[in-house]
A and B are shown apart, each in its own frame.
Chain A
Amino acid sequence: MSIRGAAFIAGAYEHPERVIPNKSVAQVHAEVAAGALADAGLSFADVDAYYCAGDAPGLGPLSMADYLGLRLAQLDSTDTGGSSYLIHVGHAAAAIQAGKCKVALITLAGLPRQTTARQAAARRVITDLAPETAFETPFGTPVHSLYALCAARHMYEFGTTSEQLAEIRVAAAHHAQYNEHAYLREPVTIADVVNSPLVSDPLHRLDCCVVTDGGGAIVVVAPEVARTLNRTCVKVLGQGEAPKHAENGRLDLVSTGAVWSGPAAFAEAGLTPADIDYASIYDSFTITVLMTLEDLGFCDKGKGGRFVTDGTLQAPHGLLPFNTDGGGLCNNHPANRGGMTKIIEAVRQLRAEANPAVQVPDCGLALVHGTGGTLGTRTGSATLILGRQDA
């Protein structure tokens, strides 16, 4: 059964800070939860479903359910990296539709900029290392190098250039200048991007997202709850999810799981790429965005470089305004998981609450896409399509 219209996003809150030296991870989860519930006009006592991922401390959702004092009929800690929260929205909508719950809280928080000693202590090894580890890690695999392998192959197969990738950073930075909370607010030129130092050929420093502390939360509610709230809600229209891996060691480096999650979401929503007014596209790296736009069908495979040229992604009047908060590239990529902030900016756009300089006029339909894990090895893709309350 389609989840189109089965649930609404009633609350959304992004933590305003980007460097947080004096708080615990659980505390930041609680702060964003409180912010999202206040935004919805609901309380912790109203919550009967909770979703989190690997950034939540403790065993799955149990520790945070305890910390927050939640009584729950649904709980889930599906973890596909940064895309987890899009999947949580889809799963919450299905649970609401099945009558399992009415008010689902989803939180993300982390402190990657704080001392790594705390992070090391938190690492728990009660199982084997992942079965692929021995055949990857010994060869020196920082994440920027794994994404660079995708960019290199994309350039080889399609002639994509560094200047085309740079257009993506230029658009995000253009938007970030209007966001008072963004980690980086300076506009940049294509030359600035391609002249920034190489981190792993062909990716430059400005092809990479920021590292920030913080987080965000959203509240997904049943239609009968949405009707009672004095708050503009956003309708969930469709959601798809798919892992993409090597399929027995024959890895395709130029496509992501969006080739499956996108069509599934569009089919559920009864929409096509041409219908989308605004897109939040996961932007861990510029190449992530470019490959995703192709896979979702905004342009043909291999034509992403051409597509992002000439202001396509720039709000308010580009063909496909994207990441109008500045994205992970410039605003916020908390806990190295960018999916929550992608959802939150789409909610702002549909509520007409984005910064006026970047608000898409008459924004009625939005797409959110998450790319968790790592392109270059294995990734979790998720696509979420949202509309205004009356969609």
Chain B
Amino acid sequence: MRYLCLIYDEEKVMATMPKPEADAFMREYFTFTEGVKASGHYVAGEALHPVSTATTLRIRHGKTSTTDGPFAETKEQLGGFYLIEAADLNAALQIAAKIPSARTGSVEVRPVVDFSRMP
């Protein structure tokens, strides 16, 4: 079963991390990614540009509204994701626990709908 791990961090904190710490953090991410690929659980994963680069689109009653920024202002902002394959939630949580941002921010683990198994 597939799970999406949504990675949230406080962008302000991340941006003001001193360079040696930030580099070490990136290296941890590199190690994690290599590990989850080697174990066969990795399906996809990306880092995102900060929320200031986001554009939110809403169409209501035929009217398109394009606004600058994320869909909502939140204390922690979405910074990236991993799509993983795992046998069950416990296995997915064990993998997600190794994502570096689990220690600095939050990682939301959400099951992916499998349309092929619906009646």
| Binding partners A and B | no
